[in-house]
Each structure stands twice: as structure tokens, then as C-alpha cells.
Amino acid sequence: MMAEASERLDVDIAVLGAGPEDPALRLASRSVIGDHLDRDTMLAFAAEVDVVTFDHELVDVDLVAELERSGHAVRPGSTALAVAVDKRAQYEAFLTTEIPMPRSIVAQGSEELRAAIDAIGLPLVIKHARGGYDGRGVTMIEDPADIQPSRLVELLGDLDVTFVVQDAVAIDSEIAVQVVRSVSGEVAAYPVVRTVQEQGICRMVQIPAAIDEQLAEQATASAMRLAEHLDVVGILAVEFFVSGGQLLVNEIAARPHNSGHITIESSATSQFENHLRAVAGFPLGSTDLVVNAASMVNVIGIDLTERAGDPPSIEVPADAAVHLYGKSHRPGRKLGHVTAVGDSLDDVTRRARRAAEALELQGATR
Ligand code: ADP
């Protein structure tokens, strides 16, 4: 989607993809296949481009710091990435910037984990500090049987890693906000969106977020503060819980994020274009809404063997924008998304859901 956005800018995209099937390679003007965790591969790739940026978090922060020391522009840089890839570092950043979060304790290894579990009490959430996404790496624990030592190993795997143990809060709703920050420190915010999760995966994003104006302002101000604190260049997405009328920060991503895909249709400049503008050192584009209501529904792989009857034959729906990523089908995998825009939230949500569900039943192939 960044490569698509580059067509509106005078920017050439080179993609370093993990394998020939990597969907981003199809849209790049230059493509390299290689391992982004391999030092020589990254040094050679960085030497061929003006600016390096990332569209995921599985980043070697030490290697990024080495690229920076060798004079390569990496945006966002290692300071922001070090925090984005590590929930422990996020927890520390929220403390420093005084952004309220669920009560949390960092634990390293089984003894500290036990102490943290005892201190927080059930229900609680145990998060792997590193490596989780789409709900993987997040374990909700309500049943006392699940905190027995052997059960913890079953649930969490190796305990000799870093966890953040959190109070499981009662969630009224979840929201997210994207801000974009330029090389010169200019910051612009997108309107707050509402996110709807199912089984730990984001299912839907809606505009308007339909939350209290004061909470929306607080979320936006917090995201801007974090972007400055972390010296972000590009998009910073910040996710929050609304719990008992309070705003509690959940996590951040320093890249174009699923909660901002809706901006392709909803906003004057998409998050992808603004990320490129920011990292390329261009002026930022307007983050203004261009619609009254928008709903984005992720197209998620389903178990096709359980599909009853023939899949519904829908052509590309005329009333929703379809974005399929060209990824291979796997149950639970995000294969694309659909966005509908209009004047009524009910109407756009119905249209986007219908299109996404039909695509899922068809196996979400192009
Ligand atoms: P990921 O890194 O996989 O996106 P998150 O930290 O966003 O993981 O957690 C995934 C989902 O789990 C959240 O969207 C929320 O629904 C639930 N969750 C996470 N932390 C808490 C918490 N402290 N209390 C209650 N629910 C939580």
C-alpha cells in the first residue's frame, strides 16, 4: 500500500522482500529478495536507496542503529523502533510521558513472572515483550488453574523471556489514533477511529469513533506527545482502551498500521502517502476527513473446508473498495481489507461487512 501511494509522489520504491511470493515485490520499481535481519543484505540494500523504512516490526534494532552510524537515513530511526518492537520499552515510554495505562509489571523469567501474577491478581493479561502480533503473544488468564507452573509453560512456552503482566481491564471500547511526524518535527493527527477486535485480531475500524470529545482530544494529545518523545519520523499509531470512561493506552506501532488503512478512502492523504512524505522529507499532506462515515473490515482467512455449499458469487462490490494483498490463504491470516464510505455509520458498516464476508467465503483470492 505504500508502493501504491508512491505513485502520487515522485518517489521510487525499492522493496527488500523475504521471498519471491512477497506481495510487496509486485508493486516495487526495484526489488531485492533477502533477509532483512542479515547484516550484509541490509548494508547492501541501504547503500542503494536514499531512505530506509519498514512496514513491520520484526526488525533488528541493533542493525538499524549500525546503519544509522554508517550514515544511512533510517526513518523512523532506532530510538522509535526500539520502543515499537518491545512492549517493555513501550511501558517505560508511557510512564515517562505520563500516559495512563492498565496497571502493569515487567517480569523477566519464571520467578519474577510468579511475583507479578501474585501482585496483579486475576483476571490478568500476560504479554510477551517481543515478537507478538494479532493477539499472538497476548494471553488472557481468568482461571486460577491457568497460573499453575506447568500450565503457564503450556500457555506461554519458554518462561525465560521478558513479559509485561497487566491488569485485565473491562473494555468499553477500543480506539486508535494515527499521527504523522515529519523530519522537521511537524506533526499532524488523523481523526480518532474506533477499532473492533474479534479473538484478539482487529476485525473492523470505524469513523466516527463515537466517543466523548474530551477522550478523543486526550488520545490525540497523547499520541502527539509520544511521537515527539520517541522522535518518530513517519506514522505512529497508538491504540487505547476506553475503560470505565477512562482512556488507557495499550500499544503503539511506528509504521502505517491496520487501524489507519481506512484513511485510503476516508482522508485527503492516506497514512501510506503521509508516511512516505514524512520519511522522504516532503511536506505532510492534509489529514482531513473527506467523508462523514467510513468502515473498514479486514478480510481474514477462514477454514474453507467447513464452507457449506458454493461460495456466493459477488463481483467486486460497487459499494466498497476492495484491497486484497495477494497473500496465500491461511485461516486466521489477514488477506486484505474492504472499506465503505458514506454518510451513515450503520450503512457503511453493513456494506463493508457484507463485502468482506463474501470475499472470505470465496477464499479471498483475486
Ligand atoms: P497485539 O500486540 O497482538 O496487537 P494487544 O496488546 O493489542 O496485542 O492485545 C490484543 C487484544 O487483547 C487487545 O486488542 C484487547 O482486546 C486485548 N487486551 C490486551 N491487553 C488487555 C488488557 N490489559 N485488558 C483487557 N484486554 C486486553
Q: Is the pLDDT of residue 5 over 80?
A: yes
The verdict on 248 and 128 lying in the same domain is no
In terms of domains, do 150 and 179 share one? no
Backbone Cα Rg of the chain: 21
Hey, is 66 helix, strand or coil?
helix
How large is the average pLDDT for residues 108-134?
92
Task: State the distance from the centre of ligand 1 to the C-alpha of 135, rounded, in angstroms.
Answer: 7
Query: Does the beta carbon of 208 lie inside 6 Å of ligand 1?
Result: no
CB 176 within 8 A of CB 250: no
Q: Is 250 in the pocket of ligand 1 (CB under 6 A)?
A: yes
In this prediction, residue 328 carries a pLDDT of: 87
Same domain flag for 184 and 78: no
CA 39 – ligand 1 centroid, Å: 33
Of 25, 56, 84, which residue is a domain's last? 84
How many distinct structural domains can be found in the chain? 3
- Does one domain contain both 151 and 29? no
Residues 258 and 340 in one domain: yes
Whether the pLDDT of residue 97 is over 80: the answer is: yes
Question: Is residue 366 predicted with pLDDT exceeding 70?
Answer: no
* Residue type present at position 314: I
Q: Are residues 326 and 234 in the same domain?
A: yes
Amino acid sitting at position 208: P
Distances (CA, A) of 149 to 53, 118, 137, 146, 257: 41, 13, 18, 8, 36
The secondary structure of residue 149, as a DSSP letter, is H
Q: Are residues 221 and 358 in the same domain?
A: yes
Quick one: 141 and 188 in the same domain? no
Average pLDDT over residues 297-312: 82
Above 60 in pLDDT, residue 233?
yes
The more confidently predicted of residues 366 and 185 is 185
197 Cβ below 6 A of ligand 1:
yes
- Determine the structural domain holding residue 357 and report its residue range: 173-365
Q: How close is the Cα of 19 to the center of ligand 1, in Å?
A: 30
For ligand 1, atom 24: residue with the closest CA: 168
Nearest ligand 1 atom to the CA of 168 is: 24
Q: Is the CB of 325 under 6 A from ligand 1?
A: no
> Over 80: is that where the pLDDT of 313 sits?
no
Check whether residue 163 and residue 177 sit in a common domain: no
- 146: in domain: yes
Let me know if residue 52 belongs to a domain. Answer: yes
* Per-residue confidence (pLDDT) for residue 365, from 0 to 100: 64
Q: Is residue 98 part of a domain?
A: no
Among 84, 115, 132, the domain boundary falls at 84
- Ligand 1 atom with least separation from CA of 195: 14
Query: Within this chain, do residues 154 and 190 fall inside the same structural domain, yes or no?
Result: no
34 lines ligand 1 (CB under 6 A): no
Percent of the chain with pLDDT over 70: 96
Task: State whether 202 and 329 are in the same domain.
Answer: yes
Q: Does some domain include residue 270?
A: yes
pLDDT at 306: 73
**Residue-level pLDDT at 10:** 87
Q: With 60 as the cut, is the pLDDT of residue 316 above it?
A: no
According to DSSP, the residues that pair with 243 across neighbouring strands are: 246
pLDDT of amino acid 145: 96
Measured by CA distance, the residue closest to atom 9 of ligand 1 is 135
Does residue 116 lie within any of the structural domains? yes
Identify the CATH number of the domain in which residue 114 sits: 3.30.1490.20
Take residue 365 and report the three cell numbers written for it: 483470492
pLDDT tens across 247-287, in order? 999 999 999 999 999 999 999 999 999 999 999 999 999 99
CB-ligand 1 contact for 23 (6 Å cutoff): no
- The last residue of a domain, from among 84, 114, 140: 84
First-to-last alpha carbon distance for the chain, in angstroms, is 16
Produce one character per residue of 160-169: b if its CB has 16 or more CB atoms within 10 Å, e if not.
eebbbbbbbb
pLDDT of residue 164: 97
Domain assignment present for 96: no
Grid cell of 251 as nine digits: 500499544
Q: Based on the fold, state whether residues 192 and 283 are members of the same structural domain.
A: yes
Closest residue to atom 27 of ligand 1, CA basis: 168
With 0-12 / 13-18 / 19 or more C-beta atoms within 10 angstroms meaning exposed / middle / buried, residue 194 is buried
CA–CA distance, 352 with 321 (Å, rounded to integer): 8
Q: Which residue has the cell 510512564?
A: 95
93 domain-assigned: no
Q: How confident is the model over 55-83, as pLDDT tens digits?
A: 998 899 999 999 999 999 999 999 999 99
Question: Which of residues 310 and 223 earns the better pLDDT score?
Answer: 223
The pLDDT tens digits of the residues spanning 162-195 come to: 999 999 999 999 999 999 999 999 999 999 999 9
Tell me the mean pLDDT in the region 88-107: 98
CATH code, domain carrying 324: 3.30.470.20
Q: From 243, 250, 334, give the residue whose CB has the most ligand 1 atoms within 8 Å, as the site to mutate.
A: 250
Which residue puts its alpha carbon closest to atom 21 of ligand 1? Answer: 168
**151: pLDDT confidence band, cut at 50, 70 and 90?**
very high
Helix (H, G, I), strand (E, B) or coil at 234: strand
CATH number for the domain that contains residue 12: 3.40.50.20
Is residue 196 in contact with ligand 1, taking CB distance under 6 Å?
no
pTM for the model: 0.95
**Is residue 47 within a helix (H) or strand (E), and if so which, with residue range?**
helix 39-47
**DSSP readout, 84-130?**
HT-HHHHHHHHHHTT---S-EEEEEHHHHHHHHHHHH-SSEEEEESS
Q: Which cell numbers hold the place of 334?
A: 489477514
For position 136, what pLDDT does the model report? 74
Residue nearest to atom 26 of ligand 1 (CA): 168
Mean pLDDT, residues 82-101 = 97
pLDDT band at 362; cut points 50, 70, 90: confident
95 burial type by CB count under 10 A (0-12 exposed, 13-18 middle, 19+ buried): exposed
Assigned domain for 41 exists: yes
